[in-house]
Amino acid sequence: MVLRKDYPYILLAILLSALIATAVSNPSESAGTFALLGLIGIVVVMMIIIYPGLGANILIIAVFLNISAYLTENDLPGVIKPLVAIVFVSILVRNYYVGQIPVDRPKTKRIELFVILYFFAVAASYLIAIDKDDALERIIDLVKDIVIMYCILFCVRNLEEWKQTVIVIIVVTTFISILGIYQISSGNYEETFFGLSQINHDERVGGPINEPNMWGQILISIMPFTIFGFLRTSARTRLAFLGVFIIMLIELLNTYSRGGYLGFFVTVFFILFFFVRTNPMVIASILLVGALGLPFLPASYISRFQTITVFSSGSESNIYQDESFRGRTSEIITGMTMFAEHPLLGIGAGNYAVNYQKYAQIVGIETRIEEREAHSLYVEILAETGLFGFITFMGIILALFRGLSNIKSNLRHTEYYQEWSYHISAVQVSLIGYLFAAIFLHGAFIRFFWIFVALALALIQVLYEKINATTYKRN
């Protein structure tokens, strides 16, 4: 008699056999191709069932390399949605056997509640959106991002898997940064390495997303993991973390992102804040290296950063003389005007750009006639989803930081505090860096934010499970 729990494997075996037979016997090229893709999908499902952490790493690699965008730009089908489906099915099958999905999640319940409420806020804005297609696309993207977040949360079920996931992010980002440094140093801007590293017309590196400012935002969100990795590891591995940090810093400098530069200083400040009482020698070393390195920075980096000093002039006319600042001022004030007119639900998700010219004429700061983005995630959320969206989004952020702070406090009197307090601090500073840079950037690539949210949720979950398991054994 076949046991009930054997049916998933029997079904996989039948599908696998059918796909192999189709690929071998069918002369049609398209049928053979689809059979081969299906075969690869089944193999991946079986691998994720055995090694669930692999599912999280596959999704993270696909997101960070921006593979789907490159494929769709070359008239090929994207891979993110199929990968999400494969990982989700794998999680369900494994959960059927060993309970992969954590049912008891009281410590992350508040965060997840705000995520759900934020989704409802974005979905509700569809009702008043002028461009329904853009609103629907934004809602679908949010659903996909939330599903990816849960896939990572359900895949990463122990501390070692969480560490591996962070290492994967660091390795992928370092690889992309090396490609960008090669392009800059060689002057070979035409070689994009299949879209993995792109440089715009201003000779600013934009990574796989081809957006220098937002690539800088992603870099400053990952650099804390390398800095805390350097601080917590043995001398043998510190050199590797230091090298990775330098590579990412060079890549960040070549984005010429003023928001990225400011974000980097903010992340350094908070890293020093976490160590101000416990490790003054580390603080002194960092400040000394920074002071000694400043004179050796190329003039192009320094001149880019010096443009920020326009704010210190105290003259409104000086600010407006800079086209970039004038444009961003117009975009922010225009967004607040949209919010003032539609304070509850906003003007509709994804509808800032199509409404920009209508409201920009009221503001009257600039005369550009093309559609523009908000250039501030918070202004964009206020304008597009109103108070409902803004309050729920800020609820996610506050609940995240509260959850991370609580788990750090609970670890304080355990054997895990020495090591894992570093990891918690890295996640906290990573989120701070991303959210600070978001003051100057809209949410075009907010999927990276949801990756960091997933890392935070997974860390909180697995650490509480570890504490509870240890307490249970002692009792």
Average pLDDT, the chain: 83
Average pLDDT over residues 93-105: 83
More confident residue, 250 or 293: 250
Does any domain span residue 97? yes
Q: For residues 125 and 345, is the Cβ–Cβ distance under 8 A?
A: yes
Confidence of residue 1 (pLDDT cuts 50, 70, 90): very low
pLDDT, tens only, 264-276: 989 988 888 776 5
Per the structure, the count of domains in the chain is 1
Range of the domain at 96: 1-101
Task: Give the pLDDT confidence score for residue 361 in this predicted structure.
Answer: 83
For residue 432, is it within any domain? no
| Mean pLDDT across 201-207 | 88
Q: Which of 52-66, 75-89, 234-248, 299-313 has the lowest average pLDDT?
A: 299-313
Q: Which pLDDT score, from 0 to 100, does residue 231 have?
A: 80
What is the SS3 assignment for the chain? Answer: CCCHHHHHHHHHHHHHHHHHHHHHHCCCHHHHHHHHHHHHHHHHHHHHHHCCHHHHHHHHHHHHHCHHHHHHHCCCCCCHHHHHHHHHHHHHHHHHHHCCCCCCCCCCHHHHHHHHHHHHHHHHHHHHCCCHHHHHHHHHHHHHHHHHHHHHHHHCCCHHHHHHHHHHHHHHHHHHHHHHHHHHHHCCCCCCCCCCCCECCCCCECHHHCCHHHHHHHHHHHHHHHHHHHHHCCHHHHHHHHHHHHHHHHHHHCCCCHHHHHHHHHHHHHHHHHHCCCCHHHHHHHHHHHHHHHHHCCHHHHHHHHHHHHHHHCCHHHHHHCHHHHHHHHHHHHHHHHHHHCCCCCCCCCCHHHHHHHHHHHHCCCCCCCCCCCCCHHHHHHHHHHHHHHHHHHHHHHHHHHHHHHHHHHHCCCCCHHHHHHHHHHHHHHHHHHHHHCCCCCCCCCHHHHHHHHHHHHHHHHHHHHHHHHHHHHC
Q: Which of 31-35, 75-79, 84-88, 316-320 is the least confident region?
A: 316-320
**Would you tell me the crossing angle of helices 53-65 and 29-50 to the nearest 10 degrees?**
130
Res. 355 pLDDT band, cuts 50 70 90:
very high
Q: Is the confidence at residue 321, as pLDDT, over 90?
A: no
Average the pLDDT over 211-226 and give the result. Answer: 95
Q: Would the pLDDT of 297 be above 60?
A: no
Q: pLDDT band at 235, cuts 50/70/90?
A: confident
Percentage of the chain surpassing pLDDT 70? 78
* Better pLDDT: 396 or 235: 396
Model confidence at 156: pLDDT above 90: yes
What's residue 45's pLDDT? Answer: 72
User: 102 — phi, psi (to 5°)?
Assistant: -70, 115
Residue 469 has pLDDT above 90, yes or no: no
What is the pLDDT confidence band of residue 99, given thresholds at 50, 70 and 90?
confident
Show the tokens assigned to 375: 């250039």
Rounded to whole angstroms, how far apart are CA atoms 247 and 104? 41
Q: For residue 340, with 0-12 CB atoms within 10 Å meaning exposed, 13-18 middle and 19 or more buried, which class applies?
A: exposed
Residues 464-470 have a mean pLDDT of 85
Domain presence at residue 61? yes
More confident residue, 361 or 179: 179
- Do the domain assignments include residue 252? no
Instruction: Work out the burial of residue 362: count CB atoms within 10 Å of its CB; fewer than 13 is exposed, 13-18 middle, 19 or more buried.
Output: exposed
Instruction: Decide if 184 is inside a domain.
Output: no
Residue 107 has pLDDT above 80, yes or no: yes
Highest mean pLDDT of the ranges 28-42, 92-106, 145-159, 297-311: 145-159
Which of 325, 301, 309 is CA-nearest to residue 216?
A: 301
What pLDDT does 308 receive?
Answer: 53
Radius of gyration of the chain (CA): 24
Question: Mean pLDDT throughout 57-81?
Answer: 85
- Does residue 470 belong to any structural domain of this protein? no
**Which residues neighbour 65 within 8 Å (Cβ) at sequence distance 6 or greater?**
172, 176, 196, 208
- Note the pLDDT of residue 394: 97
Question: Looking at residue 46, what is its pLDDT?
Answer: 75
What pLDDT does residue 320 have?
46
Q: Is residue 42 part of a domain?
A: yes
pTM: 0.86
pLDDT at 365 over 80: no
Per-residue confidence (pLDDT) for residue 105, from 0 to 100: 86
Statement: residue 446 has pLDDT above 50: yes
Model confidence at 444, pLDDT cuts 50, 70, 90, reads: confident
pLDDT-based confidence at 37, cuts 50/70/90?
Answer: low
Q: Is position 302 within any domain?
A: no
Please choose, from the candidates 54, 73, 72, 61, the residue with its C-alpha nearest in 3D space to the C-alpha of residue 175: 61
Instruction: Retrieve residue 425's tokens.
Output: 């601090």
**Whole-number pLDDT of residue 258:** 85
User: Does the structure show a pLDDT above 90 at 138?
Assistant: yes
- 379, pLDDT greater than 60: yes
Question: Which is more confident, 96 or 7?
Answer: 96
Structure tokens at 211: 């957006």
Label residue 2 by pLDDT band (50, 70, 90): very low
Would you state the structure tokens that stand for residue 128, as one six-digit string? Answer: 């008043």
pLDDT at 309 over 80: no
Considering only 100-104, 337-341, 375-379, 432-436, which range has the smallest mean pLDDT?
Answer: 100-104
Output the six-digit token pair for 121.
């806020």
